[in-house]
Amino acid sequence: MFDRALRALALLGGVVLLGMMGLILFDIIMRYALKIPFLGAYEMTELAMVLIVFFGLAHCGATGGHVAVDILEPLLERPGLRWLSALVPFAGAAVVGLIAWHAVAFAIGSRKRGEATNMMGIETWPYELVTALGMGLFAVVLIIQAWKTLRPAESKGQK
């Protein structure tokens, strides 16, 4: 169920990416062919990037779609050192969870201050909450990965 939710969010991020491509094409046509620039295109692209990145972050982490260097992996696969291998995702989850917490606090402050984009006046707090959601889900993914590292017999049976 959790994996399906992550996949759905990632697909939603892909839809936003397609929309952003259409927006950029529209802006190029308006700017260079018709000499009527769309002044909000830059802001909308910035906000779309927030959605694309943070809707897909947790799914990328869950599927191993990120760049990783496994220099010490053969050494850390020993049963006595398995805890060390789980320490990295636990530490990452703590940092990412802290970022999510601060993103929520920042979004609350942005809403109270009425912060919005310059050209179009789009409120920024919903996008800051998307940042918090994406980081929070990524923290959950990291905790699950750490747990699976500590319980390798269970994780192999689920694959």
Going by pLDDT thresholds of 50, 70 and 90, the confidence category of residue 152 is low
Length of the chain: 159
Over residues 70-103, the pLDDT tens digits come to 777 776 667 667 777 788 899 999 999 999 999 9
Going by pLDDT thresholds of 50, 70 and 90, the confidence category of residue 155 is very low
Given a contact cutoff of 8 angstroms between Cβ atoms, the answer to whether 45 and 19 are in contact is no
Question: Per mean pLDDT, which range of 71-80, 115-124, 145-154 is the poorest?
Answer: 71-80
What is the per-residue DSSP string for 72-129? Answer: SHHHHTSGGGHHHHHHHHHHHHHHHHHHHHHHHHHHHHHHHHT-B-TTT--BSHHHHH
Q: Please tell me what DSSP assigns to residue 39.
A: T
Give the rounded distance of the alpha carbon of 14 from its chain centre: 12
CA distance 159 to 48: 34
* Mean pLDDT score across all residues of the chain: 90
Going by pLDDT thresholds of 50, 70 and 90, the confidence category of residue 19 is very high
Phi and psi torsions of 36, nearest 5°: -125, 90
For the record, the structure tokens of 129 come out as 């909450």
The model's pTM is: 0.85
Question: Per mean pLDDT, which range of 30-39, 111-120, 135-144 is the poorest?
Answer: 30-39
Three-state DSSP at 151 gives coil
Given a contact cutoff of 8 angstroms between Cβ atoms, the answer to whether 89 and 139 are in contact is no
pLDDT on residue 125: 97
User: Is the model more confident about 150 or about 159?
Assistant: 150
